[in-house]
């Protein structure tokens, strides 16, 4: 299996997918640096020194900067996961590559799992780079909690979107044509992102309880269909441990906006997302094993 996931990495390197991703990420991080600097100075009057008030203001700014950074990061990460894997099966079956490879004494599940591991390790490595860069830039201009456990938990939640999306994308690749799956996955993730946005800013649409209930039901269903965006909201919440800090920071959790943390998914939701990934991975293997080439 190591041979297979290592050729996946090599493929991404040779096709310049990694190079282009890293170049675009560098451009994003440069822009993010200036954005973080601008937000980092927000609410800090000159001569305030290092009082507790300043620390809280810096902490609040840090939360906003990280939220923006990880929101963009999650978007890029999702598309990297989708676009590297959407043609994994269909594309190689259509071109005939799989016919030569799968006539070898190699169980099909090993090929599938090897490819899956390749995409997931690549996406996770990229997620780590992005996550660390965003935190370092934020720390330069504002404050973030110095809690390694929170960092690790947050990173794991942030990067869990990679195996989740790769599993769905590879199953889709075993069911649909390459281009069909690309369109399907883009719309599916777009729907998830839209559901997340509605959840964040929904309260700004209406104060009508009935409308809010319908919106909540809709976003709940979307989160169950594709739980990628919810994981990323959970990642930000874990980083800043909002439950424990409740009341200490000047966040209006009921306000609408991208930094609305009133709707942080529960731990059960994380368990659901992990099981969702496992089920889609198993279904993908099952489908691939019975697929005629």
Partner 1 sequence: MMSVPAIETLALTKQYDNGRGCRDVSITVGKGEAFGFLGPNGAGKSTFVKMLVGLITPSSGSAALLGCKIGSLAAKSLIGYLPELYRYQEWMTGEEVVELHARLCRMERSVAAKRVRELLDEVGLGQRGRDRVKHYSKGMQQRLGLACALVNDPEIIFLDEPSSALDPIGRREVRNILEKLKERGKTIFLNSHLLEEVELLCDRMALLNNGVILRHGSVSEVLRKQTKWLFKVGGYTPFLRSWLNERTGLNIRLSARQELSSPPRHNFGDQLPSGPSPDESIVWLEAELDSEEQAGWLNALIVEQGMTLYEVSQEQERLEEWFVNTVSGLDHRGEQG
**In the complex, which residues of this chain contact partner 1 (CB under 8 A)?**
3, 7, 10-11, 14-15, 95-97, 99-107, 290, 292-293
Q: Nearer to partner 1 by C-beta: 30 or 97?
A: 97
Distance separating alpha carbons of residues 133 and 109, to the nearest angstrom: 35
Distance separating alpha carbons of residues 65 and 69, to the nearest angstrom: 6
Could you tell me the two tokens for 38?
Answer: 């601008």
Nearest-approach distance from CB 94 to partner 1, in angstroms: 9
Nearest-approach distance from CB 173 to partner 1, in angstroms: 17
Helix (H, G, I), strand (E, B) or coil at 251: coil
Q: Nearer to partner 1 by C-beta: 51 or 290?
A: 290
Nearest-approach distance from CB 102 to partner 1, in angstroms: 6
Q: Nearer to partner 1 by C-beta: 102 or 245?
A: 102
Query: Which residue's entry shows tokens 């939360």?
Result: 63
Nearest-approach distance from CB 291 to partner 1, in angstroms: 9
Helix (H, G, I), strand (E, B) or coil at 266: coil
In Å, what is the CA distance from 37 to each residue of 42, 143, 183?
Answer: 9, 12, 37
Nearest-approach distance from CB 288 to partner 1, in angstroms: 12
Are 93 and 175 a contacting pair, CB within 8 Å?
Answer: no
∠241-157-82 over CA atoms, to 5°? 145
Are 288 and 112 a contacting pair, CB within 8 Å?
Answer: yes
Distance separating alpha carbons of residues 275 and 269, to the nearest angstrom: 10
Q: Nearer to partner 1 by C-beta: 116 or 189?
A: 116
Q: Nearer to partner 1 by C-beta: 11 or 147?
A: 11
Nearest-approach distance from CB 159 to partner 1, in angstroms: 26
Q: Nearer to partner 1 by C-beta: 268 or 290?
A: 290
């Amino acid at each position: 299996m190591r041979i297979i996931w290592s050729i996946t990495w090599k493929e991404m390197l040779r096709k310049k997918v990694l190079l282009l991703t890293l170049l675009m990420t560098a451009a994003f991080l440069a822009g993010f640096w200036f954005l973080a600097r601008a937000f980092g100075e927000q609410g800090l009057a000159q001569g305030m020194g290092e009082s507790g008030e300043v620390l809280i203001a810096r902490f609040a700014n840090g939360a906003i900067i990280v939220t923006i950074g990880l929101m963009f990061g999650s978007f890029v990460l999702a598309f990297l996961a989708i676009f590297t894997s959407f043609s994994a099966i269909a594309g190689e079956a259509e071109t005939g590559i799989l016919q030569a490879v799968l006539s070898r004494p190699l169980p099909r599940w090993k090929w599938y799992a090897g490819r899956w591991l390749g995409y997931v390790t690549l996406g996770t490595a990229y997620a780590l780079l992005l996550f660390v860069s965003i935190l370092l830039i934020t720390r330069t201009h504002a404050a973030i909690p110095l809690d390694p456990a929170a960092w690790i938990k947050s990173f794991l939640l942030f990067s869990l979107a990679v195996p989740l999306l790769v599993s769905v994308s590879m199953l889709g690749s075993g069911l649909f044509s390459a281009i069909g799956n690309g369109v399907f996955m883009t719309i599916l993730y777009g729907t998830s992102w839209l559901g997340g946005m509605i959840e964040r800013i929904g309260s700004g649409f209406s104060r009508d309880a009935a409308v809010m209930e319908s919106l909540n039901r809709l976003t709940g269903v979307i989160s169950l269909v594709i739980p990628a965006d919810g994981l990323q909201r959970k990642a930000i919440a874990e980083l800043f441990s909002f439950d424990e800090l409740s009341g200490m920071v000047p966040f209006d959790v009921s306000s609408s906006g991208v930094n609305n943390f009133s709707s942080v998914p529960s731990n059960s939701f994380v368990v659901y997302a992990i099981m969702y990934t496992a089920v889609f991975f198993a279904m993908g293997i099952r489908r691939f094993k019975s697929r005629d080439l």
